[in-house]
Amino acid sequence: MNPLNELLQPRLNEGAVPAAEVMALGLYHPQHGYYRRKEGPWGFAGKDYYTALDLGPLLGQTLALRLEAAWERLGRPARFTALEPGAGRGWLGRDLLNAVSGPFAEALIYVHRDDNPAARHAAEAALAPFLQANRARFASETDPLEPFTGCVFSNELFDALPAQPWRWNGEQWAREVLAASGPEWQAADPGEAGVWFAAQTDGLEPGDGSIWCEALPGLVRELSRALEAGLFLAVDYGESADRLLAKGADLRRFKAHGVDGLWHEDLGEADLTSDVDFTRLAHVLEGEGLTSLSHMELSRWIRTHAPLDAWGAQWMGLPAPDRMKRTENLLQLTLPGMMGSRFRVLEGWKGNEG
Ligand SMILES: C[S@@+](CC[C@H](N)C(=O)[O-])C[C@H]1O[C@@H](n2cnc3c(N)ncnc32)[C@H](O)[C@@H]1O
């Protein structure tokens, strides 16, 4: 039997376990959790899913422009720290460091923060030249964060936090649980989540429902309090709160490049993910004093900030296979219906201008 199902069995014999607790176990059990395993799940061949980073360096190159603009806005400080929580393999940091040059590159230090052992191992290889040159370093999730000026950025961090699905049946709230016979919906008091959901709509309809991520405010506050001045940027899968409610957001399982709702199966061996409530993420950041908060589709964010015509002209000078890869990367992240329209980018600003 799967070791995590074995661990769950005595609890299931006593009663149902909320889906968020099952997700926490499946992803973060210190020994058997999907994100605590020694071997990584990423990439195309034989693995479970790929992220925007597998498609090429376009996201990192656009991020480099946004960070350089933030550095300018801050008055070109001598040190600009770019902290990436949930940094995984460090590929976004690598693409960022490869894309910068001149005085900004001299000011930039990249900090990878993720206790995923397989990811850390892969990041040591991806970041090797930058680690040697003291342009990148590792931090543990448990290390207290020293205050810094610069940027906090993440890709698919918040959708990997345990989240609890809730549904409104027309009369009361129910939460999704794992019972001995399988998943089911059980009536329960949603507390703070219910107040939040009700505030996001003019009137709840039967079947409306969303996900509630308990850990979101704590993590956002920890990160944004360490940022003394600069940019907070999050790329993630999700929607605004009203749209999540209307679609009845739920948990998803990714395994071998397939996606389904079987979040209770293959615990520790499949990725589990939930939509990110971007309205709530912005709301927590606003409470921490961040301003200019906005979020948009990743495809629009890239088209807004990247000089795509100039980059396209540069790619013409590349060998044909490289040129094709760059073009494919661009299409995946900017065409309607492709990856770039499924992700959103949130930006917020903290503190002084230069
Ligand atoms: C979906 S993966 C994304 C990895 C990477 N950003 C990418 O795009 O390939 C989520 C990562 O977030 C990490 N993570 C979860 N909670 C975290 C936290 N509180 N601080 C830092 N990393 C965290 C997990 O260990 C996992 O490696």
Could you list the mean pLDDT of each consecutive 10-residue stretch along the chain, which spans 354 residues?
Answer: 90 96 97 90 73 89 98 97 97 98 98 96 97 98 96 97 97 96 96 96 94 98 98 97 94 88 92 96 97 96 95 93 92 91 96 70
Establish whether residue 152 lines the binding site of ligand 1, counting it when its CB lies within 6 angstroms of any ligand atom.
Answer: no
Give the residue among 45, 214, 78, 239 at the shortest CA–CA distance from 148: 78
- 27, 29, 35, best to mutate for ligand 1 pocket (most atoms within 8 Å of CB): 35
CATH number at residue 44: 3.40.50.12710
Which ligand 1 atom is the nearest neighbour of the CA of 116? 25
What integer best gives the mean pLDDT of the chain? Answer: 94
Is the beta carbon of 141 within 6 A of some atom in ligand 1? Answer: yes
Sequence-distant (≥ 6) Cβ neighbours of residue 45 within 8 angstroms: none
Q: Is 281 exposed, middle or buried (0-12, 13-18, 19+ CB in 10 A)?
A: buried
121 found inside a domain = yes
225: containing domain: 36-161+215-237+274-350
Is residue 9 a part of any domain in this protein? no
- C-alpha span between 137 and 132 (Å, rounded): 9
pLDDT (tens digit per residue) in 234-250 = 999 999 999 999 999 89
With respect to residue 202, please indicate whether it lies within any of the assigned structural domains: no
In whole angstroms, what is the distance from residue 333 CA to residue 308 CA?
A: 12
* Token reading at 260: 């389904």
Answer yes or no: are the C-beta atoms of 163 and 210 closer than 8 Å.
no
Query: Hey, whose CA ends up nearest to atom 25 of ligand 1?
Result: 116
- pLDDT for the residue numbered 353: 64
Domain presence at residue 47: yes
Does residue 205 form part of some domain?
Answer: no
Strand-pair partners of 274: 251
- Residue given tokens 């345990």 in the structure block: 162
What would the pLDDT profile of 297-350 be if each residue is shown by its tens digit? 999 999 999 999 999 999 999 999 999 999 999 999 999 889 899 999 999 999
The reply to whether ligand 1 has any atom less than 6 angstroms from the CB of 344 is: no
* Å from CA of 314 to ligand 1 middle: 33
For the beta carbon of residue 277, count every other beta carbon within 10 angstroms. Answer: 29
Total number of domains constituting the chain: 1
Q: How far is the CA of 92 from the centre of ligand 1 (A)?
A: 12
Residue 18 lies in a domain: no
113 CB near ligand 1 (under 6 Å): yes
Pick from 49, 116, 259 the residue to mutate for probing ligand 1's pocket: most ligand atoms within 8 Å of its CB.
116
Instruction: Please name the helix (run of DSSP H) or strand (run of DSSP E) that holds residue 295, with its range, or none.
Output: strand 291-297
Cα–Cα distance, 308 to 313 (Å, whole number): 9
Does residue 22 lie in a domain region? no
How far is CA 21 from its chain centroid? 19
The pLDDT value given to residue 43: 72
Instruction: Tell me, using a 6 A CB cutoff, whether residue 51 lines ligand 1.
Output: yes
Instruction: Tell me, yes or no, whether 269 lies in a domain.
Output: no
